[in-house]
Amino acid sequence: MFGDVVFWVLSAVAVAAGVMVFRFDSMARATYALLLSLLCVGGLVVRLGLDYLGVVIVLMMTVEMALMAVFMVMYMMNPAGLMPMSMLHNTKGAAVVCGGLFVLLAAGIVLAPWPHRRGRPGDDATRALGESLMGPHMLTMMTLGLALFATIVATVVLATRRGRYDRFGDALRAPRADDPARGGVGR
Amino acid sequence: MAETAPLWAVVVLPLALVVLAGVAAGADAVLSAAHGGAGAWRRAADPWREAVRLLVQQPRRTRAADRWLGRIGIGLVPVAAVLAAAVVPWGLRPVTDPAVGVVWFNAMEALAWAAVWLAGWGPNSAFSLVGGYRFLAQGLAYELPHMLALTTAALGAESLRVGAVVAAQRGLWFVVWMPVAFAVHLLSAAALAFWGPFAHPLGRDVAGGAAAEWSGPDRLVLLAGRWLLLAAGAAFAVPLFLGGGHGPLLPAWLWTVVKTAAVLAALLGLRHLVPTVRMDRYMEVAWLVLVPLTLLQALVVAVVVLGRR
Amino acid sequence: MGLRTALRRIAATRVAVLLVTAPGATAVRLAVEAGVRRRGPAWGWAESPAAANALLVAAGPGHQAGGTLPDSLPGRLWDLLPHPKARATAAGEDEAGPALDSLAEALAAGPGWRSGSAPGGPGRQARKGAGGQDTELVAGLPMAERGDDRDGLRLDVLHLPLGPALPDWPAGLVVDVALQGDVVQEARVRPLSGPGALPPSGDALPYWDEPWLRAAHGESVSEGAAHRRRCAAHLDSLGRMLGVAGWPGPADRARRLRDAALRGAPAGVLLPGVQALRRRVERSRTLRGLVRGLGPLPAARARELGVDGPALAAAGDAYDRLLRWPTEAERSAAGVDSTALLADRRPVGPRGRLDGPRPPSRALLDALPPLLAGAELAAARLIVASLDPDPDELLGEEAPHG
């Protein structure tokens, strides 16, 4: 009973907050509505018995949304919520894509041959998850990790305007990097 | 050991945290006035009087402000502190001891990222917004070493359950063989509370930063919430590294109080020794010095744990 | 009802002072600072109008009338303070004590709290776009325009005045900055008499230069008095710099020593204190790591700008300039007991030669804009504090006597 109430409340708030992302006319509000939605999803995952994944969703999404708000404000015209702006762009195209995606996913849910549960879930879902990740799925996770890391490095390399020759001179002999702001370890 | 405290603890926890934070703030006021001559100890009540002043003060409104978002941010600060403290064992029993308590603490403390940014964003004022942004930079700097420090303690106990981490220290406290992780956790406790050497988001150079435009009860909640966060961060160091309630002679709850007070005293001392750290300088220290150090610490602990089997 | 009254009574005993100093009122500021400290733990300083419940204007002897300065900064600040609040003006050293007492009385007896929220704050304080033309307004505030930034991005530019009511900021100084994020792209020093500035007060000599200027006018001034003033001036600058750097303990120590020097403490008392402070500042590796490299002003460049005094002697960055103050204060502290008359030499004040064509603070202000461009806001505050121009010296230049 109690579990059902929690499930329906979290689900309703998650969906409502998700809708509000597109109704708010301020980027900060839209970002934090999305965060609220994702926090509810984290709660739902905890309700599924996957404590670790649920709490990690809360942790990661809070941090990500806080940072995303910064980038949204930084790169958008007229930030600061001073100028009310629509969160909707290319509405027709987006509607088509979203509708198609929804149909695809719903069809997948309905049509996929879901496996039946055999045996009981272990007592410690976190341990099971860890053993799975570090055992049979080790290769997948390592590949994924390396790919993500390579993406980060590549993005930074592509985005940065100044390389080491700008910082240390053509012969790389400058004793101190020529940076607009100095770091803290005295390089 | 694994059993949790009775239900009334849910009510007592926030009150206990407020008292702890108030005593710490009082001690800080005494310490600040210590070289001012006699009667410094009377300043211990200063934080409470200041709280009363803010309580009856008029709240302020700035032009084109997003008051809702700002107030949500302000309210989130004490809420995050209390939720984080829920997994801290007072004595040997926490209010709740979830299987992923260490991660829970980390997640609740990350709510402060959103909270301070929102508090800085809400008033629509340049200095206040600069303060809010400063905390995100600070979060990026302290969070990675902090996560590794928390991981190290969990690794030593082979569990994410805070109760298990305490139980693993029945013989040897983790601080003895994880000194780096302990030191990083202390720094992080100050940093997550944007307090002391890490008070730059509320810096004097930007007229109070994220707190610059808040007055009255709003200001009280923000500034008190920051002491609650500090108290929660300090209290969490006890089960993680200082053996929790374990100790000779005294009962477990008293050991917890004594150790928490010691950690808070160390933090107060740090505040008076070190000027406020700017993130444009600290970021490099955190990522180029602290991250490798904590990784090394985690490696050492992992090798010891494997060797013990 | 009873509880609310009791709470208000407790609240009224605490005074958080927002101090606004008019250029030329340094002596009044010092008297107010000493007065607040003497009044004990219930008194403190507010960093912003929102944090204050008392506004104190330290005006020079020129402001005699009633203490109200219509259409000027104190009036605007007063509107920003939340209720309950009190205000007072001190126009002279001897008025500091009574003004502080009147604040306490007004708060204790005050009408209390009016319901509703305080009126709109400054918000984003941008009022005019670049070049002064009005830009598009939303909610009465202009929208930001865009420009190229330091790192090659095209970002919004926010025009923001720094000062005059900032903690640890030179009295009455306003620096208009163009900010992108928190990076200063461009800085312009506003003339003291410009809009928004406090009117100059009186025709007294600049406080920190007084002994040397008096001696130059032929009055007899003892060397000890001059050393005392120089020592206090450097400690004042040091206290402000440490305050901006966020190190409240030593900043407070510097101010206490400053007041002791001005009160006439003998060298035997003063010198050990200054020495201990110097060692503490010099030993802090964190402080060095934080301030090193900000606002470099090599000797050649300083000379070219006409900078003199500690800023020239330091011949380096903000950290070098910071260290000059305790060193020179210590040297001066050793001589405060001298009774010999100040010899008839070229007058050299705490910030440099006083007989040049321009006051030394003018050169310091001229050095500011290029150093501030490209600095982050926190660094910009430290750079200003490390040069610490004294607006008192500029009054004679900008508002001629009579």
Q: Quote ipTM for the complex.
A: 0.88
> Within an 8 Å CB–CB cutoff, is residue C124 touching chain A?
yes
Q: Splitting chain A (187 residues) into consecutive groups of 10 residues, what average pLDDT does each group show?
A: 88 93 83 93 90 92 88 61 65 91 94 85 81 88 94 90 81 80 72
For residue C329, the model assigns a pLDDT of 92
Of C11, C47, C243, the CB nearest to B53: C11
Which residues from chain B sit within 8 angstroms of residue C118, using beta carbons? 58-61, 215
Show the tokens assigned to C167: 């903690």
pLDDT > 50? residue C65: no
pLDDT range class, residue C122, cuts 50, 70, 90: very low
- For all residues of chain A together, what is the average pLDDT? 85
Q: Do C120 and B215 touch (CB under 8 A)?
A: no
Residues of B in contact with C287 (CB under 8 A): 275
Instruction: Specify the pairing of strand B60-62 against strand C118-121.
Output: parallel
pTM of the model: 0.88
Q: Would you place residue C402 in the very low, low, confident or very high pLDDT band (cuts 50, 70, 90)?
A: very low
- Which chain B residues are Cβ-neighbours of A70 within 8 angstroms? 117, 133, 136
User: Using the beta-carbon criterion (under 8 Å), do C8 and B215 form an inter-chain contact?
Assistant: no
- Beta-bridged to residue C19, according to DSSP, are C56
C25 falls in which pLDDT band (50, 70, 90)?
confident
3 state DSSP class of C159:
strand
E-state strands within C122-208:
137-138, 141-142, 145-148, 154-162, 175-180, 183-189
pLDDT at A86: 67
Lowest mean pLDDT among B113-127, C3-17, C54-68, C261-275: C54-68
CA distance B100 to chain A (A): 6
Q: Where are the domains of chain B?
A: 9-308
Domain(s) of CATH 1.10.645.10: residues in chain C: 207-398
Q: Kindly list the partner chains of chain B, i.e. chains with 3 or more CB atom pairs below 8 Å.
A: A, C
CATH of C2-109, one of 2.40.50, 2.30.29, 3.30.1490, 3.40.50: 3.40.50
Residue B198: its pLDDT value, please? 92
Model confidence band, residue C283 (pLDDT cutoffs 50, 70, 90): very high
Residue C94 has phi, psi (to 5 degrees) of -75, -15
Phi, psi of B92 (to 5 degrees): -105, 0
Q: Among the residues of C193-345, which ranges form H helices?
A: 210-216, 223-245, 248-263, 267-283, 285-291, 299-305, 310-314, 318-334
- Please indicate whether, in this complex, the C-beta atoms of B207 and C166 are within 8 angstroms of each other: yes
- Considering CB atoms only, which of B126, B203, B274 is closest to C158? B126
pLDDT of residue B67: 81
Q: In this predicted structure, what is the pLDDT of residue C136?
A: 54
Q: What is the pLDDT of residue C1?
A: 57
Q: What's the CATH class of domain C207-398?
A: mainly alpha
pLDDT for B1: 40
The neighbour count for residue B286, using CB atoms within 10 Å, is: 26
Q: Show which subunits contact C, needing at least 3 CB pairs below 8 angstroms.
A: A, B
- Residue C52 tokens, joined: 């204050």
Give pLDDT < 70 ranges for chain B: 1-6, 34-39, 92-93
Cα–Cα distances (Å) from C332 to C215, C326, C338, C345, in that order, read 18, 10, 10, 17
List the beta bridge partners of residue C157: C145
Residue whose pair of structure tokens reads 């006699």 in the numeric block: B38
Q: Comparing C172 with A8, which gets the higher pLDDT?
A: A8
Instruction: Specify the pLDDT at position C245.
Output: 92
* Numbered ranges of CATH 3.40.50 in chain C: 2-109
Residue boundaries of the structural domains of chain A: 1-78, 133-178
Q: What is the pLDDT of residue C89?
A: 85
Listed range (B226-240, B274-288, C56-70, C185-199) with the worst mean pLDDT = C56-70
B-chain CB neighbours of C121 within 8 Å are 60-63, 123, 125, 213
pLDDT of residue A10: 93
Confidence (pLDDT) at C142: 60
Bridge partners, C178 (sequence order): C159, C186
Rounded to 5 degrees, φ, ψ at C352 are 130, -170
| Chain A residues close to C151, C-beta within 8 Å | 161, 180
Our CA-based measurement puts residue C206 at a distance from the nearest CA of chain B, in whole angstroms, of 26
With CB atoms and an 8 Å threshold, state whether B207 touches C167.
yes
